[in-house]
Amino acid sequence: MRKHTITAVWEEIPDDADDLVLVRGGFRLYLCLCGTHLADRAAAELHAAETNQCTTCLGSATEEIVPGFSQECTACAGTGRRKAQLTWELAYVEAETMITVDLVRTVIAPFTEPFQLSLVADTVRSTLGLPVGRLPVGPRVRDVLRQLEAAGELTLVSAPDELLRGTTVVLYRDPYWQHASE
Ligand SMILES: [Zn+2]
Ligand SMILES: [Zn+2]
């Protein structure tokens, strides 16, 4: 069996590089051990899918977000496999259906102090009676809270845990929000 280990190699990154392009797979060369020509990120993702590997980490199980900063791939639960990625995607869709924006609003309504992502996720989990690990509750709750933040209902009060590229590419692990009216 041929190996399809896909390696991403960083190219020179200009100082004024577009951060979104950078974190989404730009400024890299993609090479597969089998010798298939991979022209860009899209070609690399397609080749990963064809060879049953995760299209986010391309089978490596880790994501290098900026040069020198990697984290375990969340899309495939750190397995590198396409099957795990698809299972996760289905579970996320189920979580989206169960954990509505209104449900999260109801859960956070009584909070008068800043509240942490993990606390909201735990409360949602116990409200719905979901065992830990049954659904990606944390990622779904995070997305809803970010949505409420974008809509102006919430304010993010935490400082980022990591500054990956100046102050534009940052990482929050378990941030706090508060109601915007307070
Ligand atoms: Zn290959
Ligand atoms: Zn992955």
Which residues, chain by chain, have CB under 5 Å from ion ligand 1? 4, 32, 34, 36
Q: Can you give the pLDDT at residue 85?
A: 97
Where exactly are the structural domains of the chain? 6-81, 99-179
pLDDT in tens, 122-134: 999 999 999 988 8
CB 107, CB 171: distance < 8 Å: no
Residue 182: predicted pLDDT: 55
pLDDT over 90 at 1, yes or no: no
Q: 29 alpha carbon to ligand 2 midpoint, in Å?
A: 18
pLDDT in tens, 60-100: 999 999 999 999 999 999 999 999 999 999 999 999 999 99
Domain 99-179 CATH (choose: 1.10.10.10, 3.10.450.50, 1.10.1060.10, 1.20.120.1770)? 1.10.10.10
Q: What percent of the chain stands above pLDDT 70?
A: 99
Locate all alpha helices (DSSP H) within the chain, ordered by sequence.
19-23, 41-50, 82-98, 101-108, 117-128, 137-150
What ligand is nearest to the CA atom of residue 78? 2
Query: What's the mean per-residue pLDDT of the chain?
Result: 95
Quote the ligand 2 centre to 53 CA distance (angstroms): 8
Average pLDDT over residues 26-48: 95
Rounded to the nearest angstrom, the distance between the alpha carbon of 138 and the centre of ligand 2 is 18
Q: What is the dihedral of CA 158, 163, 169, 174, to 10 degrees?
A: -40
